[in-house]
Amino acid sequence: MEQRDTPVILTIDDEENIRDSFRLFLEDYDFRVLEACNGREGLEIFEREHPDLVLCDLRMPELDGLEVLATLKEQAPDTPIIVVSGTGVIGDAIEAIRRGAWNYLLKPIQDMSVLIHAISQALERSRLIKENRAYQEHLEDEVTKRTEALQKAVGDLNQSHLQLQEKEEKYRSIFVNLQDVYFEMQLDGQITEVSPSVSHFSLYRREDILGNNIDQLFPSAKNRDRLTSRLKNTGSVTDYEIYLQDKDGTLVPCSLNARYQDNLEPPKICGTLRDITERKQAEARIEYLAYFDALTELPNRRLLLDRLEQNLSRARRYRHYGAMLFLDLDRFKNINDSLGHPVGDALLKEVARRMTLGLRNEDTVSRLGGDEFVMLLSELGDDPVTAAAKAQKKAEQIRESLAEKYQIMGHELHITPSIGVAMFPASEDNQEAGNDILRHADTAMYRAKDDGRDSIRFFLPSMQSAADDRLAIEKELRYALERDEISLYYQPQVDASGGIIGAETLVRWNHAERGFISPAVFIPVAEATGLILPIGEWILRHACRQLKTWADQGHDMPHLAVNVSPRQFRQPDFIQQICDILEETGADPNQLGLELTEGMVIDNIADTIEKMQGLKQLGIELSIDDFGTGYSSLAYLKKMPLDILKIDQSFVRDIESDANDAAIVETIIAMANHLDLKVIAEGVETEFELDFLERKGCKSFQGYLFSRPLPEQQFSTMLAAGKVAS
């Protein structure tokens, strides 16, 4: 058997982004990843590279997943294949398992830990099977060899009795070590031979079974009769599933192979039994996975929608009300990014546990994926006002319970949910489906988030238009660059006397009909859809071009900072992209800075540091934006080649009113000094804030007190003057 240090995984999927995300993720776990974009290519690569495991999509051009399965099952039955398919084809997925897939996962995979778990489980099982097979083959070999030898020995009457005994001894040892059960019985069911391994299966000793009737082990008369009639008709059975009842009365699923031997006198039935408990469990697991979330074991979206539909029609029929609570954890991503997925997963499990505490039988808690949970409350009475009050009370209870502190793997964590509530049925004549209710609750949840997180909002029809807006933004953002609607503003960064020491680039979207759309609104949409890549590249190119223009005009522009999005930064060729842009525009890298956020630098730290060093070597300054809102620890910061910390404006805002925030600001400044980093305070709006920051040792500022972000012309004029207007 080939031994490799790095397991090789072949992903077969026609969607490039899925292959990419698997590759990026799996390489982090030290797998070597091969990719194929359809079944035909997958089989070619398989034959060449003999991967240790295959991740296979079902619906693909050229050759689909089921055909791949059929071929691989024949060629390499011991290589685990995990099917990864969309929910739309769940019937196919179950069919896939029947045809030999080892496991299947629903696409999109929300939780990569589920994938890694499935992979390690499959690899371990495959290793065991290979070992076992090698052992069995060895046994079979031995059996053949010994049987031949025995026959020869029996034929040769001159063979000494002692030698014969020795051979028999060896044969015996094989019989005794067999893992499956070997048995022989007469046609009337009397057991005449059985291997000792029967005790693992049945808890009976061999002696307790020999000579007894087979119905001692197989109590179901119907099943027995079917088996014997099959044997009589066809002479043999293979992989016949039957339940064996052990000494304690437990039923053990078995696969039976047997042959009717009428050439013997008296004729008998010989065969083997194999325990297939594990296979049965795997099948049950598939059923389960289709309806439950693997991480929290809560019902998944599919089961939730099932129950919601039932509830909805009951509520209409009996004229009572129910409610749907949609929860999203505030800033969960921060925890996941900075403390790692195991901590995030453990937190989600604990949230699931708290949500199910004291749950009524008729209610359902479900995890939709990520940090989204849903609670379905049914039968809240026939009065809409009372029903809504009950829903509100429950939502508040959950909010309180989730807000209590968490002890997770040595971290003390706090998290709050934003909760959207939708009552149903929404109106008497309305024929909305379960999906609509879910969307309403989701929309209300977004409103709760917009209104400052940690809050509860009920769905109102007017909210729907806001949600529709979001979709429209997504659609129109695709054309924003082509239509020339994106531009850059520049916000000066100054010293205490208002002298310009640099600027931050802030993107603006001037939509033809809607007017200015805030980057706080559209950057997250761009990030979620991937549009951030072309937009981000445009911003970088444009900023660099501007630097060159200022240089050509003789302006002294010390530093221009550009915001970089996580997805943009994670591109493998990000540094190359920057080099190309610098070369193309002729901008001086020493004038360029990049603003990164805590979350994105703490994720995958080794890779990040390497990337940051690459950027620094080009002469680019690096800053951490919104510092203080994440969970970065000093230990991490020390390792990173940073130049600047930007104190988040939420702290600056509260300096005056919140002693805690004032202390945080003080600590950040002290810490930056200690690490030899520059600090910029952002969002400085008042003299009071400026005065406080200055006294604590901060020397650089940015905020409305000095200047709002300005269009290019106005900023250039200010730059020429060298300081902000006072």
Nearest to 491 by CA among 646, 286, 653, 374: 646
Measured from the CB atom, the residue of 506 and 671 that comes closer to ligand C2E is: 506
Nearer to ligand C2E, 11 or 702 (CB): 702
Q: Which does 607 bind (CB under 5 to 8 A by kind): Ca ion, ligand C2E, none?
A: none
Q: What separation in angstroms does the CA of 409 have from each of 414, 603, 629?
A: 14, 18, 21
Output the smallest distance, CB 25 to ligand C2E, in A: 23
Query: Closer CB to ligand C2E, residue 334 or residue 563?
Result: 563
Residue with tokens 């991967």: 51
Report the partner that residue 624 touches, choosing among Ca ion, ligand C2E, none (CB closer than 5 to 8 A by kind): none
Reduce the secondary structure of 455-520 to three states and give it as a string: CEEECCHHHHHHHHHHHHHHHHHHHHCCCCCEEEEEEEEECCCCEEEEEEEEEEEEECCCEEECHH
In angstroms, what is the minimal distance from the CB of 539 to ligand C2E?
A: 5
Nearer to Ca ion, 328 or 648 (CB): 648
d(CA 41, CA 35): 9
The whole-angstrom separation of Cα 343 and Cα 361 is 30
- With CB under 5 A as the contact rule, the residue among 202, 366, 563, 565 that binds Ca ion is 563
Closest to Ca ion by CB, 322 or 703: 703
From the list Ca ion, ligand C2E, none, pick the one residue 402 interacts with, judged by a Cβ distance below 5 to 8 Å according to partner type.
none
295-303, 425-433, 595-603, 604-612 -> range binding Ca ion (CB under 5 A) = 595-603
Shortest approach of ligand C2E to residue 712 CB, angstroms?
A: 14
DSSP sequence for 390-401 = HHHHHHHHHHHH
600 binds, among Ca ion, ligand C2E, none (CB under 5 to 8 A by kind): none
Contacted by 135, from Ca ion, ligand C2E, none: CB < 5 to 8 Å by type: none
**Partner whose binding site includes residue 491, from Ca ion, ligand C2E, none (CB under 5 to 8 Å by kind):** ligand C2E
Q: Contact with Ca ion (CB under 5 A): which of 595, 598, 603, 621?
A: 595
Q: How far is the CB of 119 from ligand C2E (least distance, A)?
A: 34
Q: Which residue is nearest to ligand C2E (CB)?
A: 703
Distances (CA, A) of 670 to 564, 643, 663: 26, 15, 11
Residues near ligand C2E (CB under 6 A) are 491, 505-507, 518-520, 523, 536, 539, 563, 565, 625-626, 649, 682-685, 702-704, 709
- Judged by CB under 5 A, the residue of 52, 621, 625, 689 near Ca ion is 625
- Does position 57 interact with Ca ion (CB under 5 A)? The reply is no
What gap in Å lies between CA 447 and CA 456, rounded to an integer? 9
Q: Which residue, 240 or 569, is less far from ligand C2E as judged by CB?
A: 569
Among 275, 371, 372, 626, binds Ca ion (CB under 5 A): 626
Nearer of residues 275 and 625 to Ca ion, judged by Cβ = 625
Inter-residue contact 492 to 707 (CB < 8 Å): yes
CB 369 within 8 A of CB 110: yes
Contacting range for Ca ion; rule: CB under 5 A; set: 48-56, 270-278, 323-331, 626-634: 626-634
Pick from 410, 535, 438: which is nearest to 479 by CA?
Answer: 535
CB 405 within 8 A of CB 414: yes
Do you find a cis peptide bond into 266, omega within 30 degrees of 0?
yes
- Picked from Ca ion, ligand C2E, none, the partner binding residue 366 (CB below 5 to 8 A depending on kind) is none
Residue nearer to Ca ion on the CB measure, 371 or 625: 625
Q: What is the largest CA-CA distance in the chain?
A: 120
Nearer of residues 425 and 492 to ligand C2E, judged by Cβ: 492
Tell me the two tokens of residue 214.
């087979």
Residue 374: contacted member of ligand C2E, Ca ion, none (CB under 5 to 8 Å, by partner type): none
Q: How far is the CB of 566 from ligand C2E (least distance, A)?
A: 9
Task: Pick the closer one to Ca ion by CB: 82 or 684.
Answer: 684
Query: Which of these, 604, 605, 640, lies nearest to 622 by C-alpha position?
Result: 640
Contact assessment for residue 381 and residue 390, using Cβ atoms and an 8 Å cutoff: yes
Q: Name the one residue in this structure whose structure tokens are 């026609």.
A: 14
Q: Are 725 and 705 in contact (CB under 8 A)?
A: no
Shortest distance, position 599 Cβ to Ca ion, whole Å: 13
To ligand C2E, the closest distance from the beta carbon of 584 in angstroms equals 19
Helix (H, G, I), strand (E, B) or coil at 230: helix
Find the shortest distance in angstroms from Cβ 601 to ligand C2E: 14
DSSP 125-162: HHHHHHHHHHHHHHHHHHHHHHHHHHHHHHH-TTS-HH
Sheet holding 322-329, edge to edge: 364-369, 372-377, 322-329, 417-424, 456-458
Least distance (Å) from Ca ion to the CB of residue 675? 19
CB nearer ligand C2E, residue 417 or residue 683:
683
**370 vs 566, which CB is nearer to ligand C2E?**
566
Which 3 state secondary structure label does DSSP give 185? strand
Provide, rounded to whole angstroms, the least separation between the CB of residue 45 and ligand C2E: 37
- The helix, strand and coil proportions of the chain, stated in percent and rounded to the nearest 5, come to 50, 20, 30
Least distance from ligand C2E to the Cβ atom of residue 455, Å: 21
CB of 489 to ligand C2E, least distance (A): 7
List of residues contacting Ca ion (CB under 5 A): 563, 595, 625-626
